[in-house]
Amino acid sequence: MGMKTEHRTVQLDQAGLDRVIRVGVLGFGGLGQAAARMLAPKQEMRLVAAADREGYAYAAEGLNPDACIATYRSRGTLGYLEQNGVLSPNSIEALMQQADRVDGYFLALPNLPNTFMADVARRFIASGWQGVLVDALKRTSAVEQLLVLRDELQAAGITYLTGCGATPGLLTAAAALAAQSYAEVHSVKITFGVGIANWEAYRATIREDIAHLPGFTVDRAQQMTDAEVEALLDQTNGILALENMEHADDIMLELAGICGRDRVTVGGVVDTRNPKKPLSTNVQITGRTFEGKISTHTFTLGDETSMAANVCGPAFGYLKAGLSLHRRGIYGLLTAAEVMPQFVR
Ligand code: NAD
């Protein structure tokens, strides 16, 4: 027995940890920069590639996250990074051509238009690259576009994990776990509170949230100028209150066989002028046990944890899990509700 256990441990280590995982981050705004900072102290992962709209940086031996962030903030693009920066209007393609040694990418890109992430996935498929892709997509319709690519991802040797942020992501996975107590899941209710000091730090997140307000669409929110976004936020004192959002937690829980998508609801409050959360982010999972009792499990995030911590942490946890699947020959499309994330040391 002892021998067997030991052997299994070694196999698992070989599947995921025989060397440092080389990570790329596409999109270097609020989440992309937080992702770079999060990777800095990690032993198992190293930032080797990053891209924004106007340029990219690549170094197989590793990029300095602080230098990347400083360059992006002072000059507007990673393309000006000393030694490793390249200016390019097609930064993702250009990076793909140059970066031959990236194990996995976190796609911290805006999904504007709503087809953008699926387009990026198609470009990876066409490039011949093999590895792990992880996104923090939010809309059900965006995840549906990736589902169409399932077979192509599989054939290309790409393990794509979708919906791996906070919601969808951490909270969806918590719902999948909580469901195990029940014979039938009646409802999954996600309520999030986000506090950020200023909306400019997360422009895409805020635009995509505005797109959920009554009377708005993704296209309309994408076309709004920064001044128009500010004018809208002025009217609401910086608060966005969101109800019955089109959030992919529903399709992810349905695909995982946990409950129909009509039983999943998502809403929340975003304060764009105060880093303090306006309410505690939580998911309530109500169901019936095998004995016939109706009960509710509640999973509440600590108020001190930021959106960035709750998105980027799971994203890399799923990237690590995705890599161990990839090394075992498991490709295609998976969601955060199907796979357990692995803790990145
Ligand atoms: P942001 O606006 O702060 O930054 C976007 C970055 O992407 C910028 O660096 C920009 O230069 C870059 N970019 C834009 N177009 C590009 C292109 N064509 N090629 C290369 N780079 C490009 O964005 P953000 O607020 O960090 O949000 C990123 C995404 O994360 C959004 O889609 C948002 O909805 C999502 N998000 C998900 C969750 C979740 O819990 N699932 C939570 C928050 C945000």
**Residue 315 CA, ligand 1 centroid: distance in Å:** 13
Q: Which ligand 1 atom sits nearest the alpha carbon of residue 168? A: 41
**Residue 10 CA, ligand 1 centroid: distance in Å:** 37
CA distances from 308 to 199, 268, 283 (A): 14, 16, 18
Q: Does domain 21-167+308-335 have CATH number 3.40.50.720?
A: yes
Q: Is 138 a catalytic residue?
A: yes
Q: Which ligand 1 atom sits nearest the alpha carbon of residue 52? A: 21
CA nearest to 314, candidates 296, 301, 304? 301
Give yes or no for residue 3 having a pLDDT over 50.
no
Tell me the pLDDT tens digit for each residue of 266-316.
999 999 999 999 999 999 999 999 999 999 999 999 999 999 999 999 999
Q: What is the mean pLDDT of residues 24-28?
A: 98
Closest C-alpha residue for ligand 1 atom 43: 205
- Report the first-to-last Cα separation within the chain, whole angstroms: 28
Give yes or no for residue 2 having a pLDDT over 80.
no
Decide: 138 in ligand 1 pocket, CB within 6 A. Answer: yes
How much of the chain exceeds pLDDT 90, in percent? 94
Pocket probe for ligand 1: among 31, 203, 270, the residue whose CB has the most ligand atoms within 8 Å is 31
Q: Is 297 a catalytic residue?
A: no
pLDDT recorded at residue 18: 65
- pLDDT tier for residue 1 given thresholds of 50, 70 and 90: very low
Give yes or no for residue 6 having a pLDDT over 80.
no
Give yes or no for residue 16 having a pLDDT over 70.
no
Tell me the pLDDT tens digit for each residue of 31-90.
999 999 999 999 999 999 999 999 999 999 999 999 999 999 999 999 999 999 999 999
β-pair type (332-335, 282-288): unpaired
CA distances from 227 to 203, 205, 224, 234, 274 (A): 12, 16, 8, 10, 19
Decide: 109 in ligand 1 pocket, CB within 6 A. Answer: yes
pLDDT recorded at residue 79: 98
Give yes or no for residue 14 having a pLDDT over 90.
no
Task: Please give the mean pLDDT across all residues of the chain.
Answer: 95
Q: What is the mean pLDDT of residues 177-206?
A: 97
pLDDT recorded at residue 333: 98
β-pair type (104-107, 21-26): parallel
Tell me the pLDDT tens digit for each residue of 217-254.
999 999 999 999 999 999 999 999 999 999 999 999 99
Q: What is the mean pLDDT of residues 172-187?
A: 98
**Residue 110 CA, ligand 1 centroid: distance in Å:** 4
State the pTM of this model: 0.94
14-18, 98-102, 121-125, 127-131 — which is least confidently predicted? 14-18
Q: Which ligand 1 atom sits nearest the alpha carbon of residue 90? A: 19
Give yes or no for residue 12 having a pLDDT over 60.
no
Encode 164-177: b = buried (16+ Cβ within 10 Å), e = exposed.
bbbbbbbbbbbbbe
- In angstroms, the CA 221 to CA 199 distance is 14
Decide: 55 in ligand 1 pocket, CB within 6 A. Answer: no
pLDDT recorded at residue 17: 52
Q: What is the DSSP string of 189-237?
A: EEEEEEE-S-GGGGHHHHHHHHTTSTT--HHHHHH--HHHHHHHHHHTT
Q: Which ligand 1 atom sits nearest the alpha carbon of residue 110? A: 32
Tell me the pLDDT tens digit for each residue of 303-344.
999 999 999 999 999 999 999 999 999 999 999 999 999 999
Catalytic residue, candidates 184, 186, 200, 208: 208
**Residue 208 CA, ligand 1 centroid: distance in Å:** 10
CATH 3.40.50.720 domain locations along the chain: 21-167+308-335
**Residue 121 CA, ligand 1 centroid: distance in Å:** 15
